[in-house]
Structure 1
Amino acid sequence: MKKLNDAFNVLYNGDNIVKLTELRYIPRWSVIVIDISIVLISIFFSHFFLEKLHVRINFPQYILEQKIFLIGINMLFMFVFKTYAGIIRHSTFFDFFKIILSSGSTLVTLLIINFLIEIWLGKSLFLYPYLFLYFFISVTVMFLFRMFTKQFFNVLIDFKGSASKVRVAVIGVGDASVSLARAILHNPNYPYRLQGFLTRRSDSHKALLLGHKIYNIDKFCENKPFMNQFDAVLIIKEIMSKQELEEWMTCALDNGLKVLKAPTLSKMRDSDLVGGIRQLQIEDLLNRRPIKIENEEVRKRHAEKNVLITGGAGSIGSEIVRQVAQFNPSLIVVLDQAESPLYELELELLEKFPKQKFKFVLADISNSYRLEKIFEVYQFSMVYHAAAYKHVPLIEENPHEAIFVNVLGTKNVAVLSKKYKVNRFVMVSTDKAVNPTNVMGASKRTAELFVQSLQNSEGNITKFITTRFGNVLGSNGSVIPHFKKQIEKGGPVTITHPDIIRYFMTIPEACELVLQAGTMGGGGEIYVFDMGEPVKILDLARRMIRLSGYTPDVDIKIKFIGLRPGEKLYEELLSNNATTIPTHHEKIMISKDPCMVFEEMDLLSNKIIKSAVRRDKVQVVTLLKAIVPEFISNNSQFEVLDKKTDSLEQKEWLTGEPDAG
């Protein structure tokens, strides 16, 4: 009784407007009633047409019984094929097919009954033209009812939110572009409205596609009235070359339009597709081809194995953890000295990989006693060494810290890997180790030399592998997050030099190649990755500003602040006297860099570690230059040391004479 009173209160005192846009579906009983009404209408019109043609029907005295019989047969097949079960506003060809099956089965059944009665009584119960006419009318009206209802709801919802929807032009008229446009049309709840298509073709401007105009790019970019009809262009990055992507982006941004991208073609599934539309990011403009890794070989190296990842809470280390976790190792030990990032990663991984066994270890790799206990307990099969200090200006001011982490830390992890017979040790290095101009790069090159020297040391069975690549997009301290913060604050965007260039790679891409390289070779190799074309940082900054909806040097200023200590204009992946050997993977090569014997490298590393303990900056850097002869300081306080080549002090250190201290 209370519910009835509430219903009357709403009816007479509440909002009496029928909110059709909030109606999710028409109830099934309503669809059945409507379909039966359509059957009655079809019967009426069938009789009406026959009467107008002056056709006499059989058994006129049983006309009511004939109609009831016909309705009963049709209703039977409606329930058999469940023509009422589909949601009308989302009707598809499958729903139309069910109507055909239902009405067709009704027609066939009546034809058979008609034929049998004709044999028995000498004339048919129904006129054959009447049955076919009824079939045609009922199928047509049922189909039109569903299509009209579907279109009515779409128009109603589109009209309701049209003011707030983003008017998009889909780029291209191929199958992928049409699928994308159709998904937008079929998902009216999403904040996009299809307004037209853009193409390079000149023969399509008079045609309509899905009821919308097709515009040519040249006329589109030059015609402001066209531009006013759109808010954004929508691209499918996979079907475009780098040149086409640049051209479309420039055209759109020059005319104040947003640039949106659809998910990859493999993810094109109606609502998921529309929901996956995002604004174009600077990472997309690199237009790198996807990497293909040999998952089966990588899986064999990790499945049911214990794996250690140092620097596991960092940008590269954490991604290695995520990728390794997909290969079902027995245990992943994540080691890092950064407390908060390690804890945050623990929460993420336990949620994402609930069945994977993890151990999160807070430790400093320069502490060999702490590390040895970990190696002793877990008996690792694979070690990924990603822990390192990498911030160039900070390390230039604190060179001894680079020695503690990048040299001593690497030495500890590598020596323990040899001692505990780890199958493979994979070190993550950097292109800044090539012809270094700063302490950070020289310390990483020293670490490379030590790891290489261990390969042929006495009693070693571990395969020591080094991977070397350039900057990764979005990593901690990298240029892109830095630029984003500056743009959000209104600028200026600071660049060290107008001509500075860098190689870039995405974090997942870099880590996939690290895992792949870890399965290759016999040990002692330095693997370098194909980083693609170098990117001018000034161009990168301008693109990011434009993608954010601003005009470079107008809305957001660009300011040049000069090279930082130890920074160079051009990064290299190979040293001057190195050559490369191709591998079976197109994006991985082996760099044939000079190497040292273990005894010599062990002696030099001990000397430089002792110098770091004494906090003697000059001595540390001088020793680095002795170990890495190609290390020439740039824009640094240590440039003066490069003038002391072949000095007695350096010769003493290289030949093993006593320390100066």
Structure 2
Amino acid sequence: MEHLIFQNHQFLQKYFNSLYQNFLNLRNKYLIIFDCAIFAITPLFALLLSLDGQTRLETYISELGKITIFFLIVKITILYKLRFYKLYWRYASIEELINIILSMGIILVVQMLIFYNCDLLPFSNIAELPPSFPLIDGLFSCILVSGVRFSIRILDRISQNYTVSTLQERVLIVGAGNAGISLVEEMQRNPQLGFNPIAFIDDDPQKLHVKIRGIPVVGDHYTIPESVQSLQIHKVIIAMPSVAGTVIREIVDICKAKGIQTSTLPGIHEILNGRVRVDSIRDVRIEDLLRREPIQTDIERVLQFLKGKVVLITGAGGSIGSELCRQICKCRPAQMILIGHGENSVFNIQQELEQLIKILQEDSKDQLHTPEIYTFIGDIRCRDRLKQAFEKCRPDVIFHAAAHKHVPLMELNSSEAITNNVLGTKNLLDMALQYNVQHFVMISTDKAVKPTNVMGASKRVAEMLVLQAARQSGKPYLAVRFGNVLGSRGSVVPTFKKQIAAGGPVTVTHPDICRYFMTIPEAVQLVLQAVVLGRSGEVLMLNMGKPVKIVDLAEELIRLSGYEVDKDIEIIFTGLRPGEKLFEELFIEGEEYNPTEHEKLFVVKNASCIIPEDLNINVVALCQAAAINDANYISFLLKKIVIGYQPKSLDNSNLLPLTKNDDYIKKSAENGLAKLGLQNA
């Protein structure tokens, strides 16, 4: 008997669960039936309320029947024309509620116009109905239609709360702004993700003790320790993508002191199209701790500038080049030409851009302005390969990010630094001038300022070539300088991470060494801003903020990795490497720095005036020296060309003085032009 009762109970439970799920997934064709039923009974309720018991209902039965049928046809027709039955109601929100109100408002206006002009209808006796009848009918219809739709949403919410498992992580969300609320909404919609949002933390006193999406705001970030304990929190998620790194650091320190697991959303520039998703949650990184105040960028101006243009990016597979590709792709250029030497890195960014284009198409439903992607595996030192790319695509804008950037390696391989950074840039500029490219932006470095290394000096020569081309053509060709980029290949952060993963030690060259840092998205965003602000023959310099001590960076990374400095992971100092200096400088003697429209960008308006008259012939000699791998003569020539270049060691006792009439230079030019494909000045 008990077995039969249990079976019947299971059967009923499955039956009601099935009915419940069917209701949650109720299709619009069934909702039309519900609406017809609602519109059939609301006139009756409206009439009863209008009469207020003063007149017998039987008096209006005939008129009520006629107007009910007529109004029902009108309502269903209007809703159908407004595509009301194309909406999905399980995830209904404020937008759907506004849609209901607007649709029913239109119906109400139409009903009242019909009612008060009923003499035009074949059954004009409906004028005997009370004057308030159409208004009350419209209000009743709106309430009941909304009630049916949002009961689906409410039941879905109840179901989610009921199915919350004790295995889910109890989450404290730090930040009750748009990002935090979006995060909670997705967690509530998808309980299978394993997150159970318990409370918000927010420093805005106006939000304290209010409920958002049913979740209370329990205090500011100083109350995190007691909130974690009292609410039995398993995890803290920092949902403030636009807040400064100092705030992130403080919250992380509070959570670490309590031993609570901490995650975060990426910075606002890393979130595609500003969309916040649960799968965006990641561990706190050093980039988050060094994050600065959000950059106010004129995105619309950049978008309008790049939209529909043919854009070429060199070094497209690199850290800066690939991020340029991502952000430029969102601006809907007509074509993007990706030039890179590494086939794997170029292939990866090509695949990523194709996925990004699909997302952009889904978001906008616009198939007309998605860029075509062309990839060229090639070296910018090869003029013939560059010519093939220019001949095929005819670019309007060039972003030149290809370069050798590793300081110690370039000290040991100075010929490579010259051929890639100098000869490659000259080849690209020659093609740009030949094919009438309208805009040219070169990515430079703060190491080009008073350089002590070959890499910085070679980039300074490349800057001069860009400025010279700008002066010759009158076109907006410019260079943009910025410092170290967090997380770029070969930079200090990936190196430290590998050392920490290996158990240490972490190697720092000097306890006092400092560098300027930016995140990759921040740097690229400012580069794109520079292209619309820069004029011909200018150098733009990004405001890098305050310099960061490398040893502090190492200590933060060790702590973020869950270790203690000098207890679990040791830091050792190895001494400055060849070409390295303690502090990077930002100003070149003779350059005049002025503010621009953008607070994070400065411009060197007189940059093109600080170019040696004999630059071209010196560059020919420099490239000839690189071709025969004469490191000593390369250093001598760089010192001649670049103001402030102070190489660590230079043996020039056997070198001839360099002048425009020097026989050596003439001979180098004659031999070198044919061999290297350089144009004579």
TM-score by length of 2: 0.69
Distance 1:417 1:220, change over 3 A: closer
Paired-residue identity, %: 29
Q: 1:535 aligns with which of 548, 551, 560?
A: 548
> What does residue 410 of structure 1 align with?
425
Q: 1:574 aligns with which of 587, 592, 598?
A: 587
Q: 1:278 aligns with which of 278, 281, 288?
A: 281
Distance 1:138 1:269, change over 3 A: farther
| In the alignment, structure 1 residue 363 sits paired with structure 2 residue 366 | no
**Contact 1:437/1:632 (<8 A) preserved:** yes
> What does residue 605 of structure 1 align with?
619
> What does residue 430 of structure 1 align with?
445
| In the alignment, structure 1 residue 195 sits paired with structure 2 residue 175 | no
Shift of 1:322: 4.7
**Contact 1:433/1:445 (<8 A) preserved:** yes
> What does residue 3 of structure 2 align with?
none
> What does residue 256 of structure 2 align with?
253
Shift of 1:200: 4.1
Shift of 1:193: 1.9
| In the alignment, structure 1 residue 309 sits paired with structure 2 residue 324 | no
Structure 1 stretch displaced more, 567-576 or 94-103: 94-103
Shift of 1:533: 3.1
Matched position secondary structure for 1:653: coil
Q: 2:644 aligns with which of 630, 635, 642?
A: 630
Determine the C-alpha separation between the residues in 1 that align with 2:567 and 2:179. Answer: 36
Distance 1:396 1:299, change over 3 A: same
> What does residue 4 of structure 2 align with?
none
Distance 1:161 1:262, change over 3 A: farther
| In the alignment, structure 1 residue 236 sits paired with structure 2 residue 250 | no
Determine the C-alpha separation between the residues in 1 that align with 2:269 and 2:314. Answer: 36
Structure 1 stretch displaced more, 438-447 or 139-148: 139-148
Determine the C-alpha separation between the residues in 1 that align with 2:318 and 2:350. Answer: 12
Matched position secondary structure for 2:658: helix
Shift of 1:399: 1.0
Shift of 1:292: 1.7
**Contact 1:453/1:597 (<8 A) preserved:** no
| In the alignment, structure 1 residue 387 sits paired with structure 2 residue 402 | yes
Alignment of 1:29-48 (within 5 A): none
Alignment of 1:9-408 (within 5 A): 18=17, 24-25=24-25, 90=91, 153-172=156-175, 181=184, 184-185=187-188, 188-200=191-203, 212-217=215-220, 218-221=222-225, 225-226=229-230, 228-238=232-242, 240-255=243-258, 256-261=260-265, 273-275=276-278, 277-279=280-282, 280-285=284-289, 286-293=291-298, 295-296=300-301, 299=304, 303=308, 307-324=311-328, 332-349=336-353, 356-372=371-387, 380-408=395-423
Distance 1:266 1:506, change over 3 A: closer
- Output the amino acid matched with 2:514: I
Shift of 1:287: 2.8
Shift of 1:618: 2.6
Where do 5+ consecutive residues of structure 1 fail to align?
Answer: 1-10, 43-54, 110-119, 126-133, 634-638
- Output the amino acid matched with 2:165: S
> What does residue 501 of structure 1 align with?
514
Shift of 1:580: 0.6
**Contact 1:196/1:212 (<8 A) preserved:** yes
**Contact 1:467/1:514 (<8 A) preserved:** yes
Q: 1:640 aligns with which of 621, 625, 649?
A: 649
Distance 1:102 1:341, change over 3 A: closer
Encode CA deviations 1:344-389: one digit per residue, 9 max, x unaligned: 4444446655954454333333234554565567655444332211
Shift of 1:526: 1.8
**Contact 1:418/1:462 (<8 A) preserved:** no
Distance 1:499 1:152, change over 3 A: farther
Determine the C-alpha separation between the residues in 2 that align with 1:101 and 1:382. Answer: 50
Shift of 1:18: 4.7
Determine the C-alpha separation between the residues in 1 that align with 2:641 and 2:423. Answer: 15
Shift of 1:581: 2.1
> What does residue 445 of structure 1 align with?
460
Shift of 1:312: 3.2
| In the alignment, structure 1 residue 564 sits paired with structure 2 residue 577 | yes
Shift of 1:152: 5.3
Shift of 1:503: 2.3
Encode CA deviations 1:236-278: one digit per residue, 9 max, x unaligned: 333x4554333323223332132333896999999x6454652
Encode CA deviations 1:18-67: one digit per residue, 9 max, x unaligned: 5789765357899899999999xx9xxxxxxxxxxxx999799xxxx9xx
Shift of 1:429: 1.4
Matched position secondary structure for 1:237: coil
Distance 1:99 1:162, change over 3 A: farther
Determine the C-alpha separation between the residues in 2 that align with 1:297 and 1:137. Answer: 50
Q: Rg bigger for which structure?
A: 1
> What does residue 47 of structure 2 align with?
none
Matched position secondary structure for 2:571: strand
**Contact 2:516/2:546 (<8 A) preserved:** yes
Distance 1:58 1:625, change over 3 A: closer
Matched position secondary structure for 1:475: coil
Determine the C-alpha separation between the residues in 2 that align with 1:402 and 1:136. Answer: 76
CA RMSD after TM alignment: 5.7
Encode CA deviations 1:595-651: one digit per residue, 9 max, x unaligned: 23343x223222222222222323322332333352234xxxxx332xx6xx65566
Encode CA deviations 1:306-350: one digit per residue, 9 max, x unaligned: x54333333333444455556666654433332333344444446
Determine the C-alpha separation between the residues in 1 that align with 2:21 and 2:479. Answer: 60
Matched position secondary structure for 2:402: coil
Matched residue count: 620
Encode CA deviations 1:370-425: one digit per residue, 9 max, x unaligned: 54565567655444332211122221211111111112222233344445554443
